[in-house]
Structure 1
Amino acid sequence: MRQLIEIQLKSKSIKDITNGYPLILKDAIEIPAVAIEEGSLLHLVDKNGGYIATGYYGTQNKGIGWVLSRKEKEKIDKKFFVKKISAAVEKRANFFASEDTTAFRVFNGEGDGIGGLTIDFFNGFYMVSWYSEGIYSFREDIYSALNEVVNTRGVYEKLRFYTNGQYVNQDDYVSGEKGEFPLIILENGMNYAVHLNDDAMTGIFLDQRNVRKALRDKYSEGKTVLNTFSYTGAFSVAAALGGAVGTTSVDLAKRSLPKTIEQFAVNGIDYESQDIKVMNVFDYFSYAARHHLKFDVIVLDSPSFARTKKMTFSTAKDYPKLLKDALKIINDDGVIIASTNNDSFNMKKFKSFIEKAFKEENRRYKILEEYQLPEDFTVPHNFPEFNYLKVVFIKVMN
């Protein structure tokens, strides 16, 4: 039977939780004497025992749990999850009806009322991602609710939490039809190959959908495009389909080569006409500078943190260096697409990195447009810090 534990909120956190803040931070509560099991329901109260909210205990990098309800009598059961998933599906009605996009986020964690849980749609298949052992303990009710709300062709899952310091080993398949991979999805009319049974990755980051469309529609025709930290080459595909005269994809992971070839192939693009490099991005910047290579568009979609034998990279401290390296190999009037999903700083701070890099290189720039999470990645109202994606299109001035 699931634990129900009364937890006292510290006074400084009561206002935040009352105003809709969904995350339960460790320093927000008075730590009880009893041990709390993952998945326990938390009855959050003030110092006088007055009810504030109901949450669940689930440790992840952001905190120790999430608020589920602010109604004291509301039960956290299958009916609760049916209500939440139904509301999320209704919000995405336009996506379900789309003929040129068949992959999108159906349920976005705290933005749809259940932190630690995301559900993505891939051409009839659903992929559920669990970010803590706590939310995973509700899986039976959540899967039952999902199957009640939508017709699932097949269901896969990703366990994105650690047990004993390691990700849980698991079979990604859950129920329904077993997919034949690669599964081809459409994104604004572009084909992408996805693998729902391939560890933590699928082959596409759905939150960059609008950015890829902008690259294809506005910035690629007749241009040379460098795609750094290219993963499976999704930006390169968008550029090629937008009329780029050449794309270069650079990623350190060996699997990036076959994965990028696959993405070009499912779009009928001859991969041999494109350049794919398996190497450290910073080494490639040095290589390009030595060989006097220049590009019209450079995509800088770096991971928040990366470690190689030679160096450790963190967007929080190293993004200006990344921009400065890009400035050395970009053509006049070129465009840099600067992007990060690091949630430890906001857009204002990210723009300060851009300002710092250009100032130190004595270069001028103009911001052309900005993007954050697309509309299917719902974020909690009035709490922009959960809108983690920051993308800025920068024109490099003469």
Structure 2
Amino acid sequence: MKTIQLKAGKEKAVKQHHPWVFSGAIDHIKTNPNAGEIIKLVNSKGDFLAYGYYNDQSKITVRAIEWNEEHIVDDNWWKNKLERAINRRSDLFKSTDTDSFRLVYSEADGLPGLIVDKYADYLVVQILTVGIEARKAIIVDALNAILKPKGIYERSDASARSLEGLKASNGLLAGSEPEEFTQIKENGLTFVVNIPDGQKSGYFLDQRVTRKAIAEYCKNLDVLDCFCYAGGFTLNAKKVGAKSVISVDSSPLAIEMVKRNHQANEIGFKEEDLVRGDVNTTLRRFQQENKKFDLIILDPPKLAPNRSAVDRALRAYKDLNLQALKILEPGGLLATFSCSGGIELSMLKQAVAWAALDAGKEVQFVEQFIQPADHPVLASFPESEYLKGLLCRVL
């Protein structure tokens, strides 16, 4: 096994089980490994730190995966790692009202660059790093052996792959091809998911718990669901008896899925309540029309993909929340979210505070939200926390 030696003083993060080793921390590589090859990482004195996989095309040159020198990273290691991640979600498999959730969450499950989502009887795999790409066949075989799914589909089309020197890769890996719209269950509701062409791996599984929590406030209220995608918040709100729900998204596929999901649950809707359009433009139009709501949901896409985009993203979050606050009734509720890893909860609070000040309104923070248990946050890898949300009340 080839060895990579770190500079003196650069081993602290690895010893604390943070998996990322940047190129600037490396002192010596005797023989360059191949991309994706498992290497031994040692400190400046030559003492073992961890095993990891190598990629000289990435700023994260090594991703550590094993800190016990006696544990050999072979095919069985990968299968055991997958089994342990899946077993940690065993309670979710017992649910009678939800059949779709995350099985493997990358670094948080000790498998940097691998995401596996379960959609009813199908698995969707997302591969983001060279080290996982090199072991795709091992991972697919292991998932088939452990879960025996109807099919395994790859959705490796995230922009992060380009940082690893990888091209997008989508398509069937095993079993049968999913239909254009696959039916899943969430919180006792039926949803159709477009696995081949939908956003992320087909659906936003990370808002499952929050959708149910926000719905508890929606009974008899006029609700506005912005960036609605497949209508997760919309349908959960209607299930508990919201007076009305207007759903807004710029994607024609999203609006089509919202329609299908109303039909799948035999819940009525008005065509004019499904608005295909830019959210910011729509919020401003509602202001001009003097339209008011009791509860508004803002669940925008990632606005800060990296630290350099934080300032620009905060301005965007502030403006988005400002426009929403302007059309909230007194006593109304605003559920606002950020899925940007670079935006901390305190930053989101600040953006809302700025928005409230400009709107001339006093706002309370009523509840705080993070990603659910199937998207765990690893203590040694705080970067695994990305989803945060606030429920705010206008006084």
TM-score, length of structure 1 as denominator length: 0.89
Task: Tell me, in whole angstroms, the C-alpha distance in 1 between the residues paired with 2:261 and 2:135.
Answer: 36
Structure 1 residue aligned with 2:190: 191
Worse-superposed segment, 257-266 or 5-14 = 5-14
Look up the match of 1:206. Answer: 205
- Superposed displacement of residue 213, structure 1: 0.5
Query: 1:47 aligns to what?
Result: 44
Task: Confirm whether residue 114 of structure 1 aligns to residue 87 of structure 2.
Answer: no
Q: How far did 1:37 drift?
A: 3.8
Please say if residues 67 and 114 of structure 1, whose CA atoms lie closer than 8 Å, have aligned partners that are also in contact.
no
Q: Give matches, 1:347-358, under 5 Å.
A: 347-358=345-356
**CA RMSD, 1 decimal:** 2.7
In 1: Cα distance, 2:260 partner to 2:312 partner: 29
Which of 12, 16, 31 is 1:15 aligned to?
Answer: 12
**Structure 1 residue aligned with 2:326:** 328
Structure 2 CA distance, aligned partners of 1:158 and 1:272? Answer: 33
Shift, 1:267, TM fit: 1.6
State the one-letter code of the partner of 1:319: Y
Distance 1:114 1:392 in 2: 30
* Counterparts in 2 of 1:271 and 1:381: CA distance versus 1, 3 Å: same
8 A Cα contact 1:215 1:242, kept in partner: no
- Conserved in 1, the CA contact under 8 Å of 2:117 and 2:201? no
SS at match of 1:305: coil
Equivalent in the alignment of 1:99: 96
- Once the two structures are overlaid, the 10-residue window that deviates more, 358-367 or 164-173, is 164-173
Contact 2:55 2:164 in 1 (8 A): no
Alpha-carbon shift at residue 195 of structure 1 (Å)? 2.0
Q: Establish whether residue 366 from structure 1 lines up as the match of residue 364 from structure 2.
A: yes
Matches within 5 A, 1:59-78: 63-78=60-75
Does the 8 Å contact 2:248/2:279 carry over to 1?
A: yes
| Structure 2 SS opposite 1:39 | coil
| TM-score, normalising length: structure 2 | 0.90
Q: What's the counterpart of residue 243 of structure 1?
A: 241
* Count of residues in correspondence between the two structures: 389
Shift in Å, 1:266: 1.5
288 and 12 in structure 1: CA distance in 2 versus 1, 3 angstrom threshold: farther
Q: Deviations over 1:134-158 (max 9, x none)?
A: 3111111112222232222221111
Q: What is the CA-CA distance between 1:23 and the residue it aligns to?
A: 2.2
Structure 2 unaligned runs (5+)? Answer: 305-310
User: 1:235 offset after TM fit, Å?
Assistant: 1.4
- Structure 1 range deviating more: 266-275 or 371-380: 266-275
Task: Give the aligned partner of residue 310 of structure 1.
Answer: none
Matches of 1:108 and 1:62 in 2, distance apart? 21
- Report deviation, 1:65: 4.2
Match of 1:256 among 235, 254, 257: 254
Candidates 389, 392, 395, aligned match of 2:393: 395
4+ long deviations beyond 6 Å:
59-62, 164-167
Contact kept, 8 Å, 1:82 with 1:148, in 2: the verdict is no
User: Aligned pair in 2 of structure 1 residues 293, 199: CA closer, same or farther (>3 Å)?
Assistant: closer
Whichever residue aligns with residue 365 of structure 1, its letter is V
Q: CA deviation at 1:242?
A: 2.1
Percent sequence identity is 28
Distance 1:322 1:26, change over 3 A: farther
2: CA distance, partners of 1:251 / 1:12: 49
For 2:233 and 2:59, locate their aligned partners in 1 and report how far apart those are by CA, in whole Å: 29
Match of 1:139 among 128, 133, 136: 136
**Contact 2:57/2:165 (8 A) holds in 1:** no
Structure 1 residues 135 and 58: CA distance shift in structure 2, 3 A? farther
> Which shows bigger deviation, 112-121 or 241-250?
241-250
Deviates more, 1:54-63 or 1:249-258: 54-63
1:78-107 Cα distance to aligned partner (Å, 9 max, x none) = 101111111112111111111111001111
How far does the alpha carbon of each residue in 1:352-398 deviate from its partner, in whole angstroms, 9 at most, with x for none? 2222222333321221211111111122124433211101111111x
Please name the residue that 2:27 is paired with. 30
The equivalent of 2:174 in structure 1 is: 175
Q: Secondary structure at the match of 1:158?
A: strand
The CA distance in 2 between the partners of 1:59 and 1:174, in whole Å, is 27
Pick the aligned partner of 1:85 from 73, 82, 87. Answer: 82
How is 1:152-163 mapped onto 2 (pairs within 5 angstroms)?
A: 152-159=149-156, 160=158, 161-162=160-161
Q: Is the 8 A contact 1:100 1:189 kept in 2?
A: yes
Post-superposition Cα deviations, 1:187-220, rounded to whole Å, max 9, x if no partner, equal: 111111112222654442011011110122x111
Asked if the contact 2:140–2:173 (Cα under 8 Å) also holds between the matched residues in 1, the reply is: no
Amino acid in the other structure paired with 1:297: L
Q: Quote the Cα distance in structure 2 between the aligned partners of 1:104 and 1:204.
A: 10
1:274-295 per-residue CA deviation (whole Å, 9 max, x = no partner) reads 6111211111111001000111
State the shift of 1:238 in Å.
Answer: 1.5
263, 274, 277: which one aligns with 2:275: 277
Counterparts of 1:363 and 1:99, CA distance in 2 = 43
Alignment of 1:230 onto 2:228: yes
**Cα distance in 2 between the residues matched to 1:234 and 1:58:** 38
For the residue of structure 2 that corresponds to 1:111, the secondary structure is helix
Distance (Å, rounded) in 2 between the aligned partners of 1:22 and 1:221: 45
Structure 1 alignment gaps of length 5 or more: 307-312
Q: Sort the Cα spacing of 1:191 and 1:73 in 2 relative to 1 into closer, same or farther, 3 A.
A: same
Partner Cα distance (1:202, 1:41) in 2:
28
Q: Which SS does the other structure have where 2:270 is aligned?
A: helix
1:315-340 Cα offsets, whole Å, 9 max, x none, are: 33321111111111111111111101
Contact map agreement 1:195 1:203 (CA 8 A) in 2: yes
Paired residue type of 1:42: I
